[in-house]
Homo-oligomer: A and B are copies of this chain.
Amino acid sequence: MLALSATSEIVCESPRNVFALPLPARRDDMSAPLTEQLAQSSPSVYTAREDLFLEGDESSHILEVVEGVICAYRLLPDGHRHVVSFYFAGDLIGYCSQSTHTFSAQALTKVRVRRIPRHLLNQLIETRPQFARRLLKLAADELTVTREHMLCLAAKSAEARMAVFLLALSRRNRDTGADQSRIELPMTRVDIGDYLGLTIETVSRTFSKLKRAGVIALPRTTTVLIRDAAELEALAQG
Distance of A100 Cα from B150 Cα, bound (Å): 20
CB neighbours (8 Å) of A129 from chain B are: 125-127, 129, 132
> How many of A's residues come within 8 Å of B, CB to CB?
44
Q: Report the nearest B residue to A130, measured CB to CB.
A: B126
For residues 187 through 210 of chain A, which have their beta carbon under 8 Å from a beta carbon of chain B?
A: 196-197
| Bound Cα distance A144, B99 (Å) | 12
Cβ contact within 8 Å between B146 and A77: no
Q: Which of A24-32, A133-141, A173-181, A217-225 contacts B (4 or more CB under 8 A)?
A: A133-141
Q: Are A153 and B237 in contact (CB under 8 A)?
A: no
Q: In the complex, which residues of chain B have a beta carbon less than 8 angstroms from the beta carbon of A125?
A: 129, 132-133, 136
- Nearest Cβ on chain B to A142's Cβ, whole angstroms: 6
User: Given A133-B125, A139-B143, A143-B146 in contact, is the A155-B197 Cβ separation under 8 Å?
Assistant: yes
A140 touches B82 (CB 8 A): no
Give the Cβ gap from A21 to chain B, nearest Cβ, in Å.
13
**Given contacts A84-B151, A98-B144, could you give 10 more A-B pairs where the C-beta distance is less than 8 Å?**
A14-B100, A78-B238, A96-B136, A97-B143, A103-B147, A127-B129, A132-B136, A150-B153, A154-B196, A154-B197
A147 touches B238 (CB 8 A): no
**Interface positions of A (Cβ within 8 A of B):** 13-14, 74, 76-78, 80, 82, 84, 96-100, 102-103, 122, 125-127, 129, 132-133, 135-137, 139-144, 146-147, 149-151, 153-155, 196-197, 237-238
Interfacial chain B residues near A139, Cβ < 8 Å: 96, 136, 139-140, 143
Establish whether residues A13 and B78, one from each chain, have CB atoms under 8 Å apart when the complex forms.
no
Q: Find out whether the CB atom of B238 lies under 8 angstroms from the CB atom of A84.
A: no
A96 and B132 contact, Cβ closer than 8 Å, known pairs A77-B237, A82-B151, A155-B197: no
Residues of B within 8 A of A103 (CB): 147
Q: In the bound complex, what is the Cα–Cα distance between A13 and B59 (angstroms)?
A: 12
Set of chain B residues within 8 Å of A96, measured between Cβ atoms: 136-137, 139-140, 143
